[in-house]
Structure 1
Amino acid sequence: MSGTYSALLLFHHVISILYMTGFMTPIQFSDLDLSRAVDFDTYLQKMQEWVAQGATSGPVQSESLIQYTKLNLARMERQLKTIQLLPEQEVLEGRLRPMEWVVITESWCGDAAQTLPLMYITAKFLHIPMHLVLRDEHPELIERYHTNGAHAIPKLVMFDRETGEELAVWGPRPEPAQTMVLSAKQAGIPHDDYLRDLHTWYGRDKNLTLQTELVELLMQFRRTA
C-alpha cells in the first residue's frame, strides 16, 4: 500500500471520528472547497485523457480501475447520444428555486457512468450549475454523505443558490438498483455476478427510474408563485 493511499485512509478515519463525536457542523454551499471541482464537459475531457494515458482517477492506479475507466467512458459517451428527457421535466423548467449541484464521483465508478450523463442533461435543461468533485480528493465530503458507513458514489447534493442551505441528497444509485446490490451482498453473490446483473438492469431501465426519482425530488423545490 502506497504512502499516499495510507495517509488517505488515515484521514478518512479521523473525519469519521469527528462526525461520530458531533464536532462536524451542518454544511453550507459556501463552506465547500470547490477549488478542484470541474463541470461535466471538463470531467468528460479528463476521462478521455486518462483513457489515452492508460490511467484512472484517484490514488490507486490498478489495471482493473484503469479498465473500468475505459469502459465507463464508452458508457457515458453512448448515453449522451441517446438520453431523452421525460415530459415531466418541462413542468420544472423556470419554476425551481435557484440551485447548485455538487456530485461526488470517480472515473472508475460504474454507477457514476450510468447516472452522470442524465444528471448533466437534467441540470443543463434546468439551468443548474453542476460541480463534479473526486471522492478521494474530498474525504470530508464523502464522510458527510456516506451510505451506511460506506463511501459509495456517486452522490448528488443539491444546494439552494440563494441561502446556501443543503436541500437534498441523492445516491449512490436508483432505489431498485440499490435494493438489488444490497440483496446480492447479503446473499453472498459474487461481486462480478451482481455487477453484471446491475448493469443489465441499467441497460433495460434506460434511465427512466433515475429520471423519475430526480423529478420527484425536484418537485419539492418548485416556486409557488
Structure 2
Amino acid sequence: MKNTIEQTLQNSFSYSDYRKTITELIEQGKSTGHEQSEDLLNYSKLNESRLNRLEKTIAVTEEVKSDLEKLDKKYIWLVLAEGWCGDAAQIVPVIYKMSEVAENVTLKIALRDDNDALMQHFLTNGGKAIPKLLILDAATLEVLADWGPRPQGAKQLILDYKAAHGVVDETAKIELQKWYLHDKGVAIQNEIMAMHKKVLA
C-alpha cells in the first residue's frame, strides 16, 4: 500500500494544477479520465463553472477553522477525483479551503483513472465512487482515515430518491446539487473534522 500511495503522490497535483489541467483539457474538447464522451465534456464544463463559484463563496466555519489551526502534526490530504464528477466539483473546493487554513495540511489531488491501484483499496459498495479523501500521516504515509464520496445528507438524499423512483436520473442529480448549494459546504467540513478528531483521539 505504501508503494501505491507513493506512486499516486508522484502523479498528484496541487489544487491549482488540478484546476489548470481540467481547463486545458476542456479547451482541447476533452475531460479528465480514460473515457471520453460529449456528456463527460459537458459535465466538466458545468463543473468548471461550479468550481469558480464555490472558490468565491465557500467559507470555512469558525469552529472548523479553530480545529484545523490546532493540528500539531503534519498531514497529507490525498483526494481521488475527476473533473467530470459532480460530487467532486462540490466537495474538492471545500477540502481546498480547509487545507488553506491548516498550516500542517498539504493537499494533493490525483485523478482516479490514472491511479486505479490505489482506488481499488477504497471502493464504495464495490464501485469507484469519488471524490475520496485519504488522510495520511505525512511522515509515514500511513492512511489514518478515509472519507467520501458524499456527506451523509447527500448520500441519504440519493438513497431515498432511488428507493422511491428506482433510478438516479437527472432530477435526482438536480436535487443533489440543490442540497449542496443549501448546505454551503458545512456538512463536509464537519464530517471531515469529526473524522480527523477520531484520528487524534
Counterpart code for 2:121: R
Map of 1:159 onto structure 2: 136
Which deviates more from structure 2 when the two are superposed, residues 61-70 or residues 27-36? 27-36
* Aligned pair partner of 1:215 in 188, 193, 198: 193
Deviations 1:154-196 (A, max 9, x none): 0000011123221110100101101111232333144211111
| 1:103–1:132 contact (8 Å) kept in structure 2 | yes
Map of 1:200 onto structure 2: 178
Map of 2:58 onto structure 1: 83
Q: Distance in 2 between matches of 1:156 and 1:93?
A: 19
Count of equivalent residues = 197
| 2:80–2:130 contact (8 Å) kept in structure 1 | yes
SS at 2:110's partner residue?
Answer: strand
What runs of 5+ residues in structure 2 fail to find an aligned partner?
A: none
Deviations 1:99-130 (A, max 9, x none): 11111000000000000001011112113111
Cα distance, 1:57 vs. partner?
Answer: 0.5
What runs of 5+ residues in structure 1 fail to find an aligned partner?
A: 1-26
* Aligned pair partner of 1:40 in 4, 8, 15: 15
Tell me which structure has the larger Cα radius of gyration: 1
Q: Distance in 2 between matches of 1:178 and 1:190?
A: 12
Cα distance, 1:69 vs. partner?
Answer: 0.2
Map of 2:100 onto structure 1: 124
| 1:40–1:131 contact (8 Å) kept in structure 2 | yes
Q: Distance in 1 between matches of 2:168 and 2:80?
A: 26
Q: Distance in 1 between matches of 2:168 and 2:82?
A: 23
SS at 2:193's partner residue?
Answer: helix
Q: Distance in 2 between matches of 1:83 and 1:176?
A: 18
**2:32 corresponds to 1:60:** no
For residues 200 and 98 of structure 1, do their structure 2 counterparts lie closer, same or farther at Cα, with a shift above 3 Å needed?
A: same
Cα distance, 1:31 vs. partner?
Answer: 4.4
Cα distance, 1:221 vs. partner?
Answer: 4.2
RMSD over aligned Cα, in angstroms?
A: 1.7
Map of 1:4 onto structure 2: none
Q: Distance in 2 between matches of 1:103 and 1:133?
A: 6
Deviations 1:133-163 (A, max 9, x none): 1111111111110001011000000011123
SS at 2:80's partner residue?
Answer: strand
Q: What percent identity do the matched residue pairs reach?
A: 35
